[in-house]
Amino acid sequence: DVQMTQSPSSLSASVGDRVTITCRASRSVSNYLNWYQQKPGKAPELLIYAASILTSGVPSRFSGSGSGTDFSLTISSLQPEDFATYYCQQSFTTPAFGQGTRLEIK
Amino acid sequence: EVHLVESGGGLVKPGGSLRLACAASGFSFDNAWMTWVRQAPGKGLEWVGRIKGNSDGGTTDYAAPVKGRFTISKDDSRNTLYLQMNSLETEDTAVYFCSKYDWNDGEHYYFQSWGQGTLVTVSS
């Protein structure tokens, strides 16, 4: 099984900040990596798939990069609605999620 | 538009059983790959298992913590996915979401459509 590790586990930032969340796979998953956003009491929402492809309707301030074992999700300029928990998920084998990164308002 | 609605959650004692359902609409259910993902209170997302579409054999796969205790099935005539949970443990307490596999170019899959979730509480 491929394990996913995100860092940091939590992050405090301000509106307008640029933030980056990283995700590391226990072995190479090529570019089979997805990112989700989840707000309290809601189902996750897909942001990015295949490591860097933005889902339709997702603002362009979100971007993803990486391949192999190291990936990142960047939000170029935080907006109030972006404060949420973010998960990576590998789709190279049976699915596995990272433990999540909680993005909080500073 | 894809629509997924879970039901069947509730309170059950350790060792008990429960069956969750996920009513689907807006897509061709019989050939869709479907999955269950759970989230324990205050914790992250955990993949539970999946069932492949009929054209891919309709076979199932499970995560290690639930293998042998949980069974995924579907009724194509009702467009409904099921999760039969037996020998429940307190660690199975979670919100259970159903979702649908979607693919980009037939290789990269992802979960774009989700139900609202149903809460299962295992407690004496």
**pLDDT tens digits, B32-88:** 999 999 999 999 999 999 999 999 999 999 999 999 999 999 999 999 999 999 999
Q: Quick check: A4 and A96 in contact, CB under 8 A?
A: yes
pLDDT along chain A (106 residues), means of 10: 96 97 98 98 98 97 98 97 97 97 95
Could you tell me if B97 lies within 8 Å of chain A, comparing CB atoms? yes
- Taking contacts as CB-CB distances below 8 angstroms, the residues of chain A near B64 are 1
**Distance separating alpha carbons of residues B43 and B99, to the nearest angstrom:** 19
What are the start-end ranges of the H helices in B15-112?
none
Question: Do residue B111 and residue A89 have CB atoms under 8 angstroms apart?
Answer: yes
pLDDT attached to residue B105: 83
- Taking contacts as CB-CB distances below 8 angstroms, the residues of chain B near A44 are 45, 97, 111, 114
Question: Do residue A49 and residue B108 have CB atoms under 8 angstroms apart?
Answer: yes
**Distance separating alpha carbons of residues B98 and B58, to the nearest angstrom:** 16
Q: Quick check: A26 and A70 in contact, CB under 8 A?
A: no
Nearest residue to B78 (alpha-carbon basis) of B2, B21, B33: B21
